[in-house]
Amino acid sequence: MSNCYWTPRAWLWGGWQENVLLRVGADGCWAGIDTGVAAPQEAERLDGPVIPPLVDAHSHAFQRAMAGLAERRGEDDGGGDDDFWSWRDRMYRVALRITPDQLRAVAAQLYVELLRGGYTQVCEFHYLQHDTDGTRYADPMALSWALADAADEAGIGLTLLPVLYECAGFTQSALRDDQRRFATTPADVIALHRAAQRSGRRLLNAGVAIHSLRAARAASIHELERLAGNVEGAIHIHVAEQTAEVDDCLAATGARPIEWLAREGLLDARWQLVHATHALRSEIDAVAASGAGVVLCPSTEANLGDGLADLPRWLAAGVPLTLGSDSNVCRHWAEELRWLDYGQRLQLRQRNVAAAPALHDGATAARLFERMLAGGAAAAGLPAWGLVPGARADLLVLELQAPGLLGMPASHALDALVFATDAPALREVWVAGRRIVAGGRHIGAAAATGRLAAEVAANLAADFAGTMAELWPA
């Protein structure tokens, strides 16, 4: 197979470049990228404009099994509101039932969908650790291996993030019974991290995570941060997603969640703050000064009624940003970017809120895409990301015949991909120098796995639908 690829156009250095030659090294990383090069005879021509993929910096794979199953409110709810917390109770019902084999099937299907949506690396915020009764598996990595097997079958890169999860809330000393599968200590998290790192599995790396300030004791957070100083990878945490969480944190600690992390001297470039929806200007400034990143999950934050992050301030502060599919109700980064700006447009009653006239010719899509691209390596704990020498040789080829791109001027292809398409418009997806998606379809051995996973996942979804029916009586 050729290790040289040529395309008439590629998105490099924040804009479109012409006649691009891409060379893949024996390690599956980019060995060189040159522009203004006539197509060499030995190079394989890529049939369409090339753009780099993005990192999905926050996923809970098992929640893909309930996507679409939590969108009803029963008449017997007593008139109560349906919000994040009621959704969480329903999600726990799914978490208490899924087996390692089912998780592998659901995750394999999800990862195929993420690849088709333009992600080639997924960060699994993995807090589902134990058997359904809360006892430990003989192999503590049983559910982690299910995720790793699914990623390997699909051909996507996986950053495993085992999660510290100790208590049910700021004033609680233990977990609720329906959280029994999540229990971990700092030592557990580091052991899971090391097992993943030492596995030698292709396209697998690891970091660590803390579920949230409400779910981990302060002393344990500091202990995990200390232990993590001896291991590789990023540190992820849910933070300030809900106003109730902010209020509870203030009552328990005298500080808001992001304020507390900064006050404790925890934040640095390894930290990734997931959501950070409810942040004051002073907190945004503190994050910017620390070098920490923020993971935005627009479709899930909308689905759960979290609220809107202060996107203009995060952008202006220069904080590293990435996207997450989170609950996996959406698996396309272009749609996530669209709704990231659309949310601001609805709130502010303005257009192109994320655009900066002095950057990228004022293009909203280009500014958002470049910011998410730049944050990918740190979020996934990788040395580099994108179409740059040394990064893994991943790329996307646009389908110019797709609705939304057909007839579009070449200079506006990225704008149209984000704001004028209503489905993935990718012709090909490559990971580590291998074509994984061709003609918009997943290919090779993983295609059969994807079909099998889809069938199993459908059965699982039907099973969970019965469980959900108990929550929404007819």
Rounded Cα–Cα distance for residues 406 and 414 (Å)? 12
Q: Which two tokens stand for residue 368?
A: 């958002």
Query: b/e string for 171-196 if b means 16 or more Cβ within 10 A?
Result: eeeebeebbbbbbbebebbbebbebb
Do residues 167 and 131 lie in contact, with contact meaning Cβ atoms separated by under 8 Å?
no
Tell me which residue of 159, 273, 261, 165 sits closest to 207, measured CA to CA.
Answer: 159
| Catalytic residue numbers, as ranges | 275, 326
